[in-house]
Structure 1
Amino acid sequence: MRLFTAIDLPDGFRNEVADLQAPSALDTRWTDPAQFHVTLRFIGDASPERAARYEQALADLTAPAARCEPYGLDVLPSRRSPRVLVLGLERTESLLALHTAVGDALEREGLSPDDRDYTPHVTLARVGDTAPETVHAFLRTADVPSFPAFQADRFVLYESTLTSDGAVYDPRAIYPLNG
């Protein structure tokens, strides 16, 4: 099974973000708004035994609520090679602390350390075969409202199943943030 941890978006916020998915000149495959989330840590493939150990490690985690502050549209992995259109989030102290706490808990159970910088975001779309200049023009001209910050008071361990229509995420466990 493929696993990852994430913060769910509040329903009202999810609906506002979905409004960004308007037709455009971009060749995109839009993310189903029901699947919107902010990944904390991708785990990858895990055996049922390992998944159970990860679940327990995360249940033992104590961390405060995380403040999520959207800053606007962005692309990943870089401006030179835009493959994913995202709503970017600031690297707030509380969000980084949660990311670190989740990573530490999973690494104590044998998950390899993540060697990439954490870039909190909500994936809006996968960008197809579109020239970077077209993506940059879209970013400059898109009418993007100012999104309010929100407090994440829980996070989720998800199982990801790949289908012909994209990935489907099913929650395995939900963990309150209360530290």
Structure 2
Amino acid sequence: MRLFIAIPLPDAVKNYMEELQGNLHGSMSFPKKEAMHLTLFFIGDFDDVELIKNKLKSINHEPFSLTTDAVGVLGSTHFLRIVYLALKDSSELKNLVTAIEKTLPVKKDKPFFPHLTLARIKYLSEDERTVLKNTIQQINKNNQTIPFSVDSIILYSSELQKSGAVHTALETYMLK
């Protein structure tokens, strides 16, 4: 089963993300509102779901707050991949991710980069890349930040389908 751990997002953040998506144009796919989340740890294919569930029960972390930040792009100059909404730096978030990493029997191959995916870019011409760059600059000039509380994490399964990934919440863990 394909698994990942994420923070659920409040409607205020999801609504803002949808508003930002409305400014993005070109060959892109957009996560649906109900699928928006902050991925903390992508486990990948792992058969022993009960082991992961039990390990996550041992996470001891207090609730905390996060704040959205600017819009950015991941990828190289000619091959842009993701348009994202950044988060302001948070030691609490880093500590939570470290606790998860230490608890799980799976190791990450990439360092944690906190972001909220606004769009996955399929292909953009040079002109479309220029338009995207200008759009992001304009969005960031009028940057709106949204603080939100984090009081739980969720273990999700992710099933890849032609219409996109379908995420199912398997278990919720309250921070305390």
TM (normalized to structure 1)?
0.88
Percent of aligned positions that are identical: 28
Aligned partner of 2:122 in structure 1 is 128
Matches within 5 A, 1:31-42: 31-42=31-42
Aligned partner of 2:97 in structure 1 is 99
1:75 aligns with 2:73: yes
Q: Which runs of 5+ in 2 are unaligned?
A: none
Q: CA RMSD in A?
A: 1.8
1:119 aligns with 2:118: no
Q: Determine if contact 2:28/2:119 at 8 Å carries over to the other structure.
A: yes
1:28 aligns with 2:28: yes
Q: CA deviation at 1:79?
A: 5.3
How many pairs were matched up? Answer: 172
Q: CA deviation at 1:23?
A: 5.0
User: Are residues 25 and 121 of structure 1, via their aligned partners in 2, closer, same or farther at CA, if it must alter by over 3 Å?
Assistant: same
Q: Determine if contact 2:40/2:97 at 8 Å carries over to the other structure.
A: yes
Q: CA deviation at 1:80?
A: 5.6
Q: CA deviation at 1:134?
A: 3.7
Counterpart residue type for residue 119 of structure 1: F
1:139 aligns with 2:139: no
Q: Determine if contact 1:41/1:99 at 8 Å carries over to the other structure.
A: yes
Counterpart residue type for residue 135 of structure 1: L
Instruction: Give secondary structure in 1 for the equivalent of 2:135.
Output: helix
Query: What is the rounded CA distance, in whole Å, between the counterparts of 2:64 and 2:36 in structure 1?
Result: 17
Instruction: Give secondary structure in 2 for the equivalent of 1:58.
Output: helix
Q: CA deviation at 1:55?
A: 0.5
TM (normalized to structure 2)?
0.89
**Mean Cα deviation higher: 26-35 or 129-138:** 129-138
Q: CA deviation at 1:117?
A: 2.1
**Mean Cα deviation higher: 114-123 or 134-143:** 134-143
Q: Determine if contact 2:66/2:87 at 8 Å carries over to the other structure.
A: yes
Q: CA deviation at 1:90?
A: 2.3
Instruction: Give secondary structure in 2 for the equivalent of 1:128.
Output: strand
Q: Determine if contact 1:26/1:134 at 8 Å carries over to the other structure.
A: no
